[in-house]
Amino acid sequence: MTHSPLALVTGGARGIGYACAEALKEDGAQIILADIDPDTLAEAAKTLNPLATYVCDMGDKDAVNALFDKIEAEHGPISQLVNNAGVSMPGEFLSYDVDDFERVLNINLLGVFVATQRAAKGMVAAGIEGAIVNMSSINAQVAIPGIPAYCASKGGVMQLTKSAALALAPHKIRVNAVGPGSIDTAMLASVNANPAAIATAMSRTPLQRFGEAREIADAVAFLCSQKASYITGETIYVDGGRMAQNYPV
């Protein structure tokens, strides 16, 4: 008898995280959502009907470990993890607040490490050949001056993905990442409200449109599936061709 995979999506109450949970559920997974916002989490649960929801600040390492303790006590170890929770906190480089920088790294990088490590311990103990997908960004490779902490964190996620993939390969646990380009979510609201910013983004996007959250989710679901059984340590960029383009045309 084949059991449905148990999938945890962090930052799963909205945007890309919500779409990832939806896609994984369609692929047959039992989904668990974790999010920092209890109200948004409750709204998402009404439509996604997850197995469980948990309020968690992914930038708090003790809270992350407690989250996994509770999940395992109530539902058993997970077999799929999507480390989606993240923040950008833009600011001017010369006056960028160090506390903001630390907060971004705690959520976007430290939280990913703690969750990956803790999920992997549960998988190894249970003999689960699991899959972990981290949310990176094109800003792991290219950069924007007004989001230095975000760029640093996503570059870290790219390298952490490789390191974790190597460490966990003997346990048949695959670790990959997805690097979105400009995706039409709340995080892109400031760009959507500015015609000049839209034009700039399109000048660097060969497919000439913003991506949809579901297009990221489909890549995540693929990496979690057995269709990606020989892929580990990779970052797949879902960016409308941006990483391939040298000069804007």
DSSP letter assigned to residue 5: P
Q: For residue 243, is it within any domain?
A: no
Alpha helices, DSSP H, located in the chain: 15-26, 38-48, 61-75, 98-105, 111-126, 148-168, 189-192, 195-203, 213-224
Residue 2 has pLDDT above 70, yes or no: no
Residue 166 has pLDDT above 50, yes or no: yes
Note whether 85 and 110 are within 8 A (CB): no
Average pLDDT over residues 210-228: 97
The C-alpha atoms of residue 160 and residue 175 are separated, in whole angstroms, by: 9
Residue 43 has pLDDT above 80, yes or no: yes
CATH of residue 80's domain is: 3.40.50.720
Q: For residue 206, is it within any domain?
A: yes
Residue 193 has pLDDT above 80, yes or no: no
Q: For residue 246, is it within any domain?
A: no
Share of the chain above pLDDT 70, in %: 98
Q: Which domain holds residue 77?
A: 6-237
The C-alpha atoms of residue 209 and residue 193 are separated, in whole angstroms, by: 15
Residue 1 has pLDDT above 50, yes or no: no
Residue 3: per-residue pLDDT: 78
Alpha carbon distances (Å) from 228 to 131, 162, 174, 217:
10, 16, 9, 14
Average pLDDT over residues 54-73: 98
Q: For residue 247, is it within any domain?
A: no
Of 97-111, 181-195, 200-214, where does the model show the most confidence? 97-111
**Structural domains of the chain, count:** 1
First CA to last CA across the chain, in angstroms?
54
Question: For residue 212, with 0-12 CB atoms within 10 Å meaning exposed, 13-18 middle and 19 or more buried, which class applies?
Answer: middle
Q: Which residues are catalytic?
A: 150
The whole-angstrom distance between residue 221's C-alpha and the CA centroid of its chain comes to: 12
Residue 25, both tokens: 């559920």
Q: What is the pTM of this model?
A: 0.96
Q: What is the mean pLDDT of the chain?
A: 96
Alpha carbon distances (Å) from 62 to 7, 66, 69, 111, 153:
21, 6, 11, 10, 20
